[in-house]
A and B are shown apart, each in its own frame.
Chain A
Amino acid sequence: MSLARFVERLLQLIPVLLGVSVIVFAMITLTPGDPVQIMIGDQIVTPEQEAAMRRDLGLDRPIHERFFAFLGNAVQGDFGQSFYHRRPVIDVIKERLPATIELSLVALIIALVTAIPLGVLAAIKRNSFLDRLATVGSLLGVSLPGFWFGILLIMLFAVHLQILPVSGRIGYASEIEPITHLLLIDTLLRGRVDAFFDALSHIIMPAITLGLPMTAILMRVTRTSMLEVMRQDYITFAEAKGLSRQKVLFRHALKNALIPTVSVAAIETGSLLGGNMIVETVFGWPGLGRLVVESIFVRNYPLVQAAVLFYAVTYVMLNFFADILYTILNPRVKL
């Protein structure tokens, strides 16, 4: 892809993101519930005090003013103050983001390394016992709700067998000075192998729970597209050349079969973000998803706005990268 084309695609993202920010702002502002009332709670305040609070938070201004103020500041990276934390929203998000990124990455890796080999295997051994097992498994994978599956895992491994921790990111004994803020990497960089395994034992259940639906979908996509590719003439021709089975399968078939898998994986990575809210809540994972859920309950508008905008941007960017990856894998496509 030429640089001009790349820039053009990048510029196309602007209207999309603008639209997203309007929707995000409107949805949150129009949702019933008053943050000031929630902050007051049971305390007794005078109307003057309440009005002062409202003014303090900028909630006394008309809605369009608030939107443009939000947009203008957002472009500069200022998402306002978190009502609840009394700190800049961006700082709160930055604090929570690494945990979510780490969890999503591990979930993604688990999904990719299980789904692709399973999908290929199911396609090669079509209609075998393994294929059927994988089919049933993937059906379960997409249909099991994350909160339920997560709780099942907790009950089995944490409560019953007591081999994995119930919640959190790492034990107190393993706390380390952060470098990248990704604990699995930091613990290794600090040479704390024990802490690494501690972090691993914390992340494994939430990552599996989060990655399960994606694994299931990717497996189905890989299987279907592998079956499709294996029927193609160029596979027969590759076999007629006398190439080894590995060469035919991996060089000729898989490279073509992965094209749809990659697109779906990129889009599904976006949906991991949504899954994060549930999984982080179930496993007490100190990430962005849980922060958003908490913020919704306390009507912490600025934070929810910023987080949803962040999700939307991530989603759009993932699709953008999927397109680019697509052109790399598929030489016929020019963006």
Chain B
Amino acid sequence: MSAPTDKTLLQVEGLRTVFETRDGTVCAVDGVDVIVERGECLGVVGESGSGKSVTFNSVMGLVRSPGRIEAGRIMFEGRDLRALNQTEMRAVRGRDIAMTMQDAMTALNPALTVGEQIAEMLEAHDKGLPSGRNARRRAIRAHSVKMLGLVGIASPETRLGQYPHEFSGGMRQRIMIAIALASMPKLLIADEPTTALDVTIQAQVLELITDTRAKLGMSVVLITHDLGVVAEHCDRVMVMYAGQVVEQGRTADVIMRPKHPYTKGLLGSLPRLSLRGQRIEPIEGQVPELIDLPAQCRFYSRCRERGPECLKNIEMRDAGNGQTARCVRVQKELAT
């Protein structure tokens, strides 16, 4: 992974987040490094339980008991977020880093109107609101209307007074994005923004995120398990497996020349029109339990290229061009 530059917005180093359970300590995120540059879109791919969401919940400081961040540095614009107290962290959340959640059906409060839920975001972060009470209310309202219009909700003035249950799933996802974008964050963490949506709505929502990114110049972390989405919308991609980053690099490089057998497997398991008639290749086996993992490649049991040299902890290896992968074969491939 490259060294941080002035362009670096978020840099996570050696993040380790664990959950205490009855069966033992589950290490959901184990030594994860992330870099997000200003203005770029980073795709984070991996199957359920790979640690994608936990990694970015850790960044937001939203890991709840019995979970806790055990180690690592989370640098945002040169500040270590882990060193901030609750009040300082609250100022970062929403204003600097905003997040949308996976399930739009449950992420909006059923007892508050959409307008109230947008307004409180603006009130909490108070970016350039007028001081007079009425002027302030009018400004908040005008901004809320603008945000709802931005995410393509028709007749936003009347919609502001409605409750979440009066909107469809796709609309709620867009409302959540409107809320997240309301205070013009520098980084948007979009956690599976399209998973719960119809295909047609998926495209709209992603377009919306990409457009606003360009307009506001913000960075986006797009958490997904859809490599198609990544290929279309992300500058760089990071593949996670069993709590570790197994491969990362520029999207085109990773998709065209995947280095890690897991990434290859993911790409191989995608249905493609061009490969009509061929069988989709699933990855055999299951993700290991994240308790007391042996010191070996975590993909070992499922890997087709495994060998005795894989039975040790594997470091990320440079595959050139800023692409790195956690596989012993990487250097060899370069040599041949």
Q: A236-B101, A255-B111, A256-B111 are in contact. Are A242 and B124 (CB under 8 A)?
A: yes
Q: With A236-B62, A251-B120, A332-B165 as known contacts, state yes or no: A242 contacts B125, CB within 8 Å.
A: yes
Count A-B pairs with CB separation below 8 Å.
78
Does any Cβ of A come within 8 Å of B239's Cβ?
A: no
Tell me whether A239 and B93 are in contact in the complex, defined as CB-CB below 8 angstroms, given that A234-B108, A255-B111 are known contacts. Answer: yes
Instruction: Provide 6 A-B residue pairs closer than 8 Å at the C-beta atoms, listed in order of the A residue.
Output: A241-B120, A241-B179, A242-B95, A243-B124, A251-B120, A256-B109
A210-249 Cβ-contact flags toward B at 8 Å (1 or 0): 0000000000000000000000111011111111110100
Check B106–A234 contact: CB distance below 8 A.
Answer: yes
Bound-state Cα–Cα, A234 to B95, Å: 18
Nearest A residue to B86 by beta-carbon distance? A245
User: What is the minimal beta-carbon distance from B55 to any residue of chain A, in angstroms?
Assistant: 15
17 extra A-B contacts, CB within 8 A, seeds A237-B99, A239-B93, A241-B98: A233-B106, A234-B110, A237-B107, A237-B108, A240-B60, A240-B94, A240-B101, A241-B94, A241-B120, A241-B121, A242-B93, A243-B94, A244-B124, A245-B86, A251-B120, A256-B109, A331-B163
Task: Report B-chain residues with C-beta under 8 Å of the C-beta of A238.
Answer: 109
Contact A332 B110 (CB under 8 A): yes
Alpha-carbon gap, A161 to B99, bound state (A): 60
**A253 to chain B: closest CB distance in Å?**
9
Question: Which residues of B come within 8 Å of A, CB atoms?
Answer: 60, 62, 64, 86, 90-95, 98-99, 101-103, 106-112, 120-121, 124-125, 163, 165, 176, 179
Do A244 and B62 form a contact, CB below 8 Å, given A237-B176, A256-B110, A332-B165? Answer: no
Known pairs A233-B106, A247-B120, A251-B120; A240 contacts B111 (CB<8 A): no
CB atoms of A233 and B103 under 8 A apart: yes
Q: Of B93, B110, B163, which is within 8 A of A241 by CB?
A: B93
What is the bound-complex CA distance between A232 and B105, given in angstroms? 11
Given contacts A232-B106, A233-B101, whether A240 and B120 have CB atoms under 8 Å apart is no
Instruction: Flag if A329 contacts B121 (CB, 8 Å).
Output: no
Q: B111's contact among A236, A237, A243, A331, by CB below 8 Å, is which?
A: A331
Cα-based distance from A37 to B130 in the complex (angstroms): 82
Contacts A232-B106, A245-B86 given; does A255 touch B112 at CB 8 Å:
yes
Q: Does A252 contact B (CB under 8 A)?
A: yes
Considering the chains assembled together, what is the distance between the CA atoms of A236 and B124 in angstroms? Answer: 16
Which residues of chain B come closer than 8 Å to A128, judged between CB atoms? none
The docked-state distance in angstroms from the alpha carbon of A78 to that of B173 is 61
Residue among A238, A247, A329 with the highest chain B CB neighbour number at 10 A? A238
Q: Are A242 and B92 in contact (CB under 8 A)?
A: yes
Residue in B64, B90, B165 whose CB lies within 8 Å of A331: B165
* Cβ-based interface call for A162 (8 A): no
A330 in contact (CB, < 8 A): yes
Q: Which among B86, B109, B176 has the greatest number of chain A C-beta atoms within 10 A? A: B109
Q: How far is the CA of A169 from the CA of B176 in the complex (A)?
A: 57
- B99: A residues at CB distance < 8 A: 237, 240
Smallest CB-CB separation from A332: which chain B residue? B165
Q: Report B-chain residues with C-beta under 8 Å of the C-beta of A242.
A: 90-95, 121, 124-125
- Name the A residues within 8 Å of B109 (CB-CB): 234, 237-238, 252, 255-256
Q: Do B111 and A244 touch across chains, with their CB atoms under 8 A apart? A: no
Q: How far is the CA of A237 from the CA of B101 in the complex (A)?
A: 7
* Docked CA distance A245–B94 (Å): 14
Task: For A243, list chain B residues within 8 Å (CB).
Answer: 90, 94, 120-121, 124
Shortest B160–chain A CB gap in Å is 14
Quick one: which of A232, A234, A247, A331 has the most chain B CB within 10 A?
A: A234
User: A232 CA to B124 CA in the complex, in Å?
Assistant: 21
Minimum CB–CB distance from B130 to chain A (whole Å) comes to 21
Closest 7 CB pairs of A and B: A242-B94, A242-B93, A233-B106, A241-B94, A240-B99, A234-B109, A331-B163
